[in-house]
A and B are shown apart, each in its own frame.
Chain A
Amino acid sequence: MVSWQTRTAKLLSRLTIRQSLKRELSVADMRERIQAMERFFPNVPDDIRIEHEPGLNHCDAEWLTPGAGPTERVILHLPGGAFMTRFMRAERLLLARMCRATNARGRLVFYRLAPENPYPAGLDDCLEAYQQILDLGTPPEHLVISGMSAGGCLALAVLLKARDLGLPMPAGALLMSPAADMTEESTDGSRVSNAARDAVLSLERGDDIRRLYLGEHIELANHPYISPVLADYTGLPPLFFQVSGSEILLDDSHRCAQRARACGVSAEVEVWDRMPHGWQALSFAPESGRAIARLADFIRERCP
């Protein structure tokens, strides 16, 4: 059974976020609306300490440390928001809850957004954050990278680029409904079959998002750093996908996992029934708590 809290959130998302995505709003308007919606998300609990130093060169980033004796684990989290906007409070709270569940320190990267900073600015910021964590002495086996939606795409891109650059791989990756297919052909499968059922995302702005994120590099849509569904996953760490069965991004997770397995990489997919996109961040819903407990299990499994 889906909880009443999640049902309510789905209805509200359908009436607000989905409508904003369906309509031709400017990026500024969309950001303004999201900021207004963010007021409904609580602040991080008091036992989580937030620090900004050491920072990154081109964007804001935060360190989240749980009060109860953190271990050596570090979670590098990349927020979602269609590469153009972000739910700062919701993502901060999500990471805080993951940190608390795993006694880990968290690194939240507010990478530069399109259209002001199109590809590869965001990816460069995320890679810089990854490199910085390693430079600070965190053993890669104690590091996990996570990302939601567009952040999931960036998390995969960071892994692929870090591998290509010869950097050490983290212990694992948590991918919450990654938007991993930016190609023009990405208009079949779950993107069509779930178009009506998805309570948050809408296909209408797909072209706009691609155009704004890629800027002048629109021809790069098939590049593995932009569409990781097309990547070679050889050498990547274990991947753990969480996705809802009723969202348009369902197939992205399945396709990435299939390719990863074909390359000998462990890839698990959890398909949650009737959840809205990004339900892990709904701190008031029981399903969110369950999802985070399972993400924490995976982290503990890969970073003992």
Chain B
Amino acid sequence: MSIQTSEKSSNRGQTFMRTLRQDHAGLSRIMREIDTQAHRLAEDSEGARAILVDAFRYLLRYHHAFHHPREDRLFARIRARDEALDQTLQQLSHEHETGEQETRRLAEDLARASNKELVGECGAELVDRINDYLRHTRTHMRHEETVFYSRAEQVLSDEDWLDIIADDGPDDPITDIRTMRASYPALARSLDEPTSHLGLHRPEHSSSHELRLQMLALTDLYGGLMHEAIDLTRTHFQRLKSVRDPVSLMRTAGTIYADNLRFAGQCVTRPSRWAINTGAGLIVGWLKPYMKQ
């Protein structure tokens, strides 16, 4: 009989831990969405704001209302069993509190801000705050995984699990798309999108697009020439290193001269057309009197 009860409680423990992990999975999906929308605020203030407000409300109504209290109950039990983790778990519980406050502040600030305040410097500050929030939340999740995920099932007894599970809340609504659509319509629509665009700028003017393409083509051209020049120089050095006597020096100088002429497929030391024409003109002019005679 006692073995059966113990198995039941350890199953409960596993189920509870699975729920926590699933919560983190849902939270990670939302983190990704918040990141996407935060960077769209300056371009599509209204659309991005609606999704962000939905996302922060969802976090307040589920993660801060049910998920974190669940974890806090678990932390309290682990701290009672394993004093070594006391300080770390206290820190994690403290992060839950500060995280909730920041979520609330962000949700309120976003809902209150005018469209003008979502762009420019004000908007950039808000995006920075959201980025900080994302960084802290991700680090917090990672920390939780390393600190107590594996420890919980090792140190907790059947009684602990029964106590922790006693007043458990609802499941994460993110697993039910209908609930999400009803409660957080903008967020649900965005989560359904199969393609997301990150860091998109406003469409470029066609002339600046053309100019950019020309600049890229020039970079390619000069990049190619630079490679040719480097290769040529390297070959010249190798040739010069192999010079042993005056004859081979003369031969090498000739080869280097010929290679330089062919550099990049064109004769770079060839006199330009105007020089040839002018030279020819001068010679013809000088010869003219003699030719007449």
Q: Which residues of A pack against B, CB within 8 Å?
A: 1-2, 11, 14-16, 18-20, 22-23, 68-71, 101-103, 196-197, 245, 254, 257, 261, 267-275, 287, 290, 293-294, 296-298, 300-302, 304
Contact = CB atoms under 8 A, between A and B. Distances in A.
Contact of B25 (A23, A197, A301): A301
B28 A301 contact: yes
A273 B142 contact: no
Interface stretch (B69-77, B111-119, B211-219, B253-261): B211-219
Contact of A14 (B145, B195, B199, B223): B223
Contacts of B141: 300
Nearest to A290: B35
Contacts of A20: 227
Contacts of B32: 294, 297-298, 301
A297 B145 contact: no
A119 B261 CA distance: 43
A248 to B, nearest CB: 13
B196 A271 contact: yes
A50 B271 CA distance: 61
B25 A273 contact: no
Interface of B: 18, 21-22, 24-26, 28-29, 31-32, 35, 134, 138, 141-142, 145-147, 149-150, 194-201, 213, 216-217, 219-220, 223-224, 226-227
B223 A294 contact: no
Contact of A287 (B142, B199, B201): B199
Nearest to B149: A71
A245 B224 CA distance: 24
A103 B196 contact: no
Contacts of A101: 138, 142
Contacts of B18: 304
Nearest to B31: A297
Contacts, number: 109
Contacts of A300: 24-25, 28, 141
B31 to A, nearest CB: 5
Contact of A18 (B26, B194, B220): B220
Given A14-B223, A15-B219, A293 B134 contact: yes
Given A2-B199, A71-B145, A15 B223 contact: yes
A271 B195 contact: yes
A103 B213 contact: no
A128 to B, nearest CB: 29
A156 to B, nearest CB: 17
Contact of A196 (B213, B226, B227): B213
B134 A272 contact: no
A298 to B, nearest CB: 7
A69 B88 CA distance: 14
A293 B139 CA distance: 10
